[in-house]
């Protein structure tokens, strides 16, 4: 069985957008398989016992955070734009459909580019349809899935499994018994993967 790195994501996370720009190629470089796991940040925080306010509710923190995000985007040479909305449960659910169809990376890459590169509303039907098409998915089947009970159950199961594993936010990356949290931990991820190359 190929070695794997589990990558926990939520399309509402700008730092996961940044992390996803580098992680897939990094994982492939050392012979690992990248497994995407979708969670919901507020649910994960509460499940982990973190009842504090969101970053957007702390003015001093959001000011520094936005500057930091713009610095990272400039460092990576990519656009960064705060999205028109942060309701992403349907886009998150769509990841399971993309995984099933073997189009996970295409879907996740394009989803993050749309939300945090272009600043679109992830809950807009036109955005979702365009994302599905760009990822090479059957658009009508995709739209049916993201509104289905099947999709909801997959999302719920993913959240429960993540909590059981100790996932409390995103981006979190796990390989073997090692856990990394944040885009700024990629150098440590690489050190580990290089030392344990598949």
Q: How far is residue 114's CA from residue 119's CA, in Å, rounded to a whole number?
A: 6
Contacts of 63 by beta carbon, 8 Å cutoff, 6+ apart: none
The per-residue pLDDT for 62 is 87
Phi-psi region of 31 (alpha: psi -120 to 50; beta: other; left: phi over 0): left
Query: Average pLDDT of 32-47?
Result: 88
Confidence of residue 159 (pLDDT cuts 50, 70, 90): very high
CATH no. for residue 123? 3.40.30.10
Query: Average pLDDT of 126-143?
Result: 98
CA distances from 73 to 165, 172, 185 (A): 30, 19, 16
Whether 9 shows a pLDDT value over 70: the answer reads: yes
Confidence of residue 2 (pLDDT cuts 50, 70, 90): confident
Task: Judge whether 13 counts as a catalytic residue.
Answer: yes
Whether 189 shows a pLDDT value over 80: the answer reads: yes
Q: Which domain holds residue 58?
A: 4-195
The per-residue pLDDT for 55 is 64
First to last CA, the chain: 10
Note if the pTM is more than 0.85: yes
Confidence of residue 198 (pLDDT cuts 50, 70, 90): confident
When divided into structural domains, the chain yields a total of 1
Query: Hey, what are 152's tokens?
Result: 């909801």
- C-beta of residue 119 within 8 angstroms of C-beta of residue 84: yes
The per-residue pLDDT for 191 is 98
Task: State pLDDT tens for residues 49-96.
Answer: 766 666 666 588 889 999 999 999 999 999 999 999 999 999 999 999
Please identify which of the residues 13, 54, 148, 158 carries the catalytic annotation.
Answer: 13
What's the mean pLDDT when you consider all of the chain? 94
Whether 46 shows a pLDDT value over 80: the answer reads: no
Sign of CA dihedral 11, 88, 111, 55: negative
């Amino acid at each position: 069985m190929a070695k794997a790195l589990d990558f926990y994501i939520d399309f509402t996370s700008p730092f996961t957008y940044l992390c996803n720009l580098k992680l897939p190629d990094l994982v492939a470089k050392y012979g690992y398989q990248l497994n995407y796991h979708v969670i919901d940040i507020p649910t994960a925080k509460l499940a982990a016992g973190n009842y504090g306010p969101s970053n957007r509710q702390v003015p001093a923190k959001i000011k520094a955070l936005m500057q930091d995000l713009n610095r990272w985007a400039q460092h990576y040479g990519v656009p960064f734009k705060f999205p028109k909305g942060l309701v992403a449960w349907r886009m998150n659910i769509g990841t399971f459909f993309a995984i099933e169809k073997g189009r996970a990376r295409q879907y996740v890459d394009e989803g993050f580019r749309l939300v945090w590169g272009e600043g679109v509303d992830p809950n807009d039907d036109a955005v979702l349809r365009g994302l599905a098409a760009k990822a090479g998915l059957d658009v009508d089947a995709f739209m049916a899935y993201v509104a289905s009970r099947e999709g909801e159950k997959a999302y719920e199961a993913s959240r429960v499994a993540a909590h059981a594993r100790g996932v409390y936010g995103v981006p979190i990356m796990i390989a073997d018994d090692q856990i990394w949290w944040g885009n700024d931990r990629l150098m440590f991820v690489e050190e580990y993967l290089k030392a344990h190359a598949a």
